[in-house]
Chains A and B, each alone.
Chain A
Amino acid sequence: MNPTVIEVSNVGKTFGLNHHCAVGLKRQFVGILSERWRTHVEKFDALTEVSFSLDRGDSLALLGHNGSGKSTLLQILAGVLKPTTGRVMTRGRIAPIIELGVGFHPDLTGQENIFLNGSLYGLSNAEIRSRYDAIVEFSELGRFIDVPVRTYSSGMYLRLGFSVSAYIEPDILLADEFLTVGDADFVQKCYQRIRQMQQNGMTLILVTHIEEQARQFCRQYLRLDHGRVADRGRFP
């Protein structure tokens, strides 16, 4: 039996929307005197009572329109946001690929950025060193690896970003539509790599609004609408 790796129970997330967002002390003081300048906070429920659980090797597509709460849910799973209600439990290393190349510093070389980025995901430098050759080979950057990242084309930047993510070897991969960019050959290579990781038991949660992509990688889906689970099931 495969163990449960993600257990989400009754998760809700409420944001305070600050109208007239009074950043800065001056406005705060004015706000004391004048109603017009006072910050009024409106409660906004980004997620309401979302529950699901996934076993090792499962794959789930989060579907829904813009603003339906998919990305908020992903951030909660990643641990970046705390749920307002309910609880989230995860087992193993999580790699949230919410944006490729987060944390790259433009003045550092590709090599330096691989180490920095890998350690942001919790890898030790020794672990990164042992995967370094594979990462560079996958990225196809060749001799550009010791050139500052600011000189890279956007395609090269994404390739480096994905290559690091692909070798974190996470137990859970949280992806936010990262497969829609890059040239066709490289995208195919990324697809293969993800399938390979899934066969090795990685659990995948993919945020997307392209249903075709969801079917390609995921066996289950969860459709969110205004922060609530609208529909759930398995792809045929």
Chain B
Amino acid sequence: MLKLDSVLSSSTFSSRMARIDGDLLLRRISMSVFHLNPGWRDLVFNLVSKEIKVRYMGAALGFAWSLGNPLLTTLTYLVVFTWIFPTRQDRFVLYLATGMLHWSLFSQVVLMGCEWLTVNSNLLKKIYFPRLIIPISGILTNITFWAAAFIIYCMLYMFLGGHPSAAMLGYLIIWPAYVAFCFGIALVFSVIHALFRDLRHIVDVLLPLLFWLTPIIWAPSTLPPQIRPLLSANPLAPFFFSFEAILHDGSWPSLETTALCLLLGAGTLGGGLLIFTRQVHKVIERI
């Protein structure tokens, strides 16, 4: 027993117990991912670069294909809502491009997130590394592809009718909150999908519905006043209000909207991390 105690107090000792206390959770997350072993940072880097290399391998246009789908969809909506069902939205191109850009981040992260654990089941069952590395490299892969679209958006911004303004500083608050929100949802979905393989298909079916329920193509001001309050039930709405305010209108989002975004981002991320770190070991036994 004495031997065991001295062994326990040793600093390099890693101990895995049957139960993990909740208060250790946050420390475990930060410790296990980055401080314990600098190699894990390189693992994230290697996994992300693998995904990027593999996805468009052998295609002549390579990375550019990631822009093909969002670009064509945006153009389709542009044609439909400019000439077929004309909208009165001021600078509709910019409004649409802003909405589509940010929608694509959400839909990609959530769709890919479903399969984070199932696709990597072989790795997870054979080698130990901090489990959070899989979702972290997953979302970084998504953000890398998204960044290509974002750069195109920035280059076209003035041409689409945008005016740079001081309100753009607000983007530095809203965007991280939005990513945290997407990440939190994807973390939970990755756990659920490993247990119920229907989830991915459900998400596939419901995402287009959510797309039309979110102010991406239409502006909230065009809604009849009596159904406008229903919009607050959509957790994506405050983010899209903010993005349109900052990038389309050049004005700061209201304080309430900003606070709501931050709260949604932090809450979803916190909940997602909690569920993921608590459940991932049980899930791995079953995939």
Contacts and interface: CB of A to CB of B under 8 A. Distances in A.
Interface of A: 3-4, 7, 9, 15, 18, 23-26, 28, 75, 78-92, 94, 96, 98-99, 102-103, 105, 107-108, 112, 115-116, 119-125, 127
Nearest to B58: A107
Given A24-B198, A91-B10, A125-B46, A81 B281 contact: yes
Contact of A15 (B16, B17, B37, B285): B285
A127 B50 contact: no
Contacts of A15: 285
B196 A112 contact: no
Contact of B46 (A75, A88, A99, A119): A119
A119 B43 contact: yes
Contacts of A3: 7
B128 A96 contact: yes
B126 A80 contact: yes
B127 A103 contact: yes
Contacts of A116: 46-47, 50
Interface string B1-17: 00110011010111111
Interface stretch (B66-74, B117-125, B164-172, B238-246): B117-125
Interface string B195-208: 11110001000000
Contact of B16 (A26, A87, A107, A112): A87
Contacts of A112: 50, 53
B111 interface: no
B22 interface: no
B57 interface: yes
A127 B43 CA distance: 12
B8 A124 contact: no
22 contacts: A4-B7, A7-B4, A9-B4, A80-B124, A82-B16, A82-B281, A83-B18, A85-B18, A87-B18, A89-B8, A89-B13, A91-B13, A94-B128, A96-B126, A98-B126, A102-B122, A103-B122, A119-B39, A120-B129, A121-B127, A122-B39, A125-B45
B16 A84 contact: no
B39 A105 contact: no
B208 to A, nearest CB: 20
A43 B157 CA distance: 60
A92 B45 contact: no
B224 interface: no
- B contact patch SS: helix
Nearest to A120: B127
B38 interface: yes
B60 interface: no
B270 to A, nearest CB: 23
Nearest to A123: B39
- A contact patch SS: mixed
A24 B196 contact: yes
Nearest to A86: B18
Contacts of A80: 124-128, 284
A56 B152 CA distance: 57
Contacts of A125: 42, 45-46
Interface residues of B, number: 43
Given A96-B128, A108-B54, A120 B43 contact: yes
Contacts of B15: 87, 89
Which of B40, B41, B42 is the most central at the interface, judged by chain A CB atoms within 10 Å of its CB?
Answer: B42
A104 to B, nearest CB: 10
A48 to B, nearest CB: 14
Contact of A102 (B39, B50, B127): B127
Contacts of A108: 50, 53-54
Contacts of A102: 122-123, 126-127
Contacts of B46: 115-116, 119, 125
B198 A25 contact: yes
A25 B196 CA distance: 6
The 10 A-B pairs of least Cβ separation, nearest first, read A79-B128, A119-B43, A124-B39, A125-B42, A122-B39, A102-B126, A25-B198, A119-B46, A98-B126, A124-B42
A4 B7 CA distance: 8
A122 B7 CA distance: 23
Nearest to B129: A120
Given A4-B7, A83-B18, A122-B40, A99 B128 contact: no
B53 to A, nearest CB: 7
B7 A7 contact: yes
B195 to A, nearest CB: 8
